[in-house]
Structure formats: structure tokens, C-alpha cells
Amino acid sequence: MDTAPKQDVRVHIRWLISKDMEEVLAIENECFEYPWTKYDFIRSLRQRNCFGMAAEHYDHVAGFMIYELMKTRIHVLDFAVLPSYHRMGVGSQMLLKLVSKLSAKRKNRIILETRETNLSAQLFFRANGFKAVSVLRNFYTDTPEDAYLMQYNYRQEQSIPGFQGSSRITKLAG
Ligand SMILES: CC(C)(COP(=O)(O)OP(=O)(O)OC[C@H]1O[C@@H](n2cnc3c(N)ncnc32)[C@H](O)[C@@H]1OP(=O)(O)O)[C@@H](O)C(=O)NCCC(=O)NCCS
């Protein structure tokens, strides 16, 4: 588990491309006990409404996210930052990009599931304005764990850089 915040880095959030796959798989394998396989990524990204983005730092992938666009919400399917970049604001910048896709009338929330044992992810999403809204019993096929469904709701003031007053994002937005 991460210890303390380090110095922030500014990353470029862009679409994922096939040449990123090797680095994405390495991050996935470092971050998760039950990682997605290359086939899982390909199968997801083949879906019409499924997208991937990378956080690039000096020509390397420091983090990535896979999400699907539903009618009224964005569903995050996979989200990870390379451990050597943890606590440097990379995940928050990725979330800021997702939040910028929300609007009051159309997609007005982001949802995702976190494992009940994944405390660092819960703290991270909470620090960025998400709330746990329900428990999904026996959600996973690989372990008997439950999942927490976490949700971020669109707010008018989020269109201002430094959405929902996150000190880290405000700092990054300058
Ligand atoms: C969760 C994760 C994406 C966070 O990414 P990150 O780039 O390290 O997050 P940030 O640096 O933007 O953190 C923003 C804030 O979230 C909170 N936070 C992040 N990681 C935390 C941790 N391990 N413990 C406590 N709080 C944490 C802090 O408030 C932090 O601000 P601070 O560093 O100024 O205290 C990253 O730890 C990760 O990839 N974990 C493994 C994969 C994973 O669990 N993905 C989520 C699946 S649902």
C-alpha cells in the first residue's frame, strides 16, 4: 500500500492506442491480484460504447482507464496507475478528464465498483468526490468479496477548473 503523497507530475491524458498495450498490461499486472488479460482488454475495447485513455508521461504510460458510455452515466471498468507514480496526482488527473465529460442534462454521473478490500481505491475515489452508494454482494467470480458501488454526481461548479474543491486537482489546475 502507498505511504505518503509525493511530488505531483503533470500527465497528458489521451486515447489509448494499440501500441500502449504492453505497458497497460504491465501496469494491470502490477496493480491487481486478479488482472485483466490482453483478451479482456481487446474484448472490452471492441464494444462500440467502450473507450480507453492513457495518462502519458515522457512517452510512457503512467496510468490508464477503460470506461463505457451509457445513456445517463459513465461506467468505469478498469482504472490503474503504475505504482511508481502513486500519490503524484496521476489518478486525479485521469478522473478530472472523465468528469469533464459529464453534463447536467445528459451523462450526469460516473459509477464504478471497488473491491471491499481495496481501501486505497476507496480513499482515492472518496477524496475525489465519489460516495459509496450500495454494496453488491458476491460481485466477483474470482473471490467471495463484495463490491462497493461508488458514484460521482455532476455538479455545476465542476466546470470550473479544480472541480469539487479537491485540493490536489485545484493545485494541478493552477
Ligand atoms: C487508486 C489509484 C488509481 C490512485 O491513483 P493515484 O494516482 O495514486 O492517486 P492520486 O495521487 O491522484 O491521489 C489523490 C488523493 O487520493 C487519496 N489517495 C490516493 N491513494 C491513496 C492511498 N493509497 N491511501 C490513502 N489515500 C489515498 C489521497 O487523498 C490523495 O491525495 P494526497 O496524495 O494529496 O493525499 C492507484 O492507487 C492505483 O492504481 N491502485 C491500484 C489499482 C486500483 O485499485 N484501481 C482502482 C480499481 S476500482
pLDDT digits (tens, 9 = 90+) for 36-76: 999 999 999 999 999 999 999 999 999 999 999 999 999 99
Residues in contact with ligand 1 (CB, 6 Å cut-off)? 1-2, 5, 31, 79-81, 86-92, 112, 114, 118, 120-121, 123-124, 127, 168
With cut-offs at 50, 70 and 90, classify the pLDDT of residue 102.
Answer: very high
| Segments making up each domain of the chain, as ranges | 12-161
CA angle, residues 136, 75, 162, in degrees to nearest 5: 110
Q: Which residue has the higher pLDDT, 5 or 80?
A: 80
Helix (H, G, I), strand (E, B) or coil at 150: strand
Residue whose CB lies within 8 A of the most ligand 1 atoms, among 8, 120, 167, for a mutation test: 120
CA dihedral 71, 73, 74, 75 (to 10 degrees): -100
Cα 30 from Cα 12, distance rounded (Å): 22
Look up the CATH number of domain 12-161: 3.40.630.30
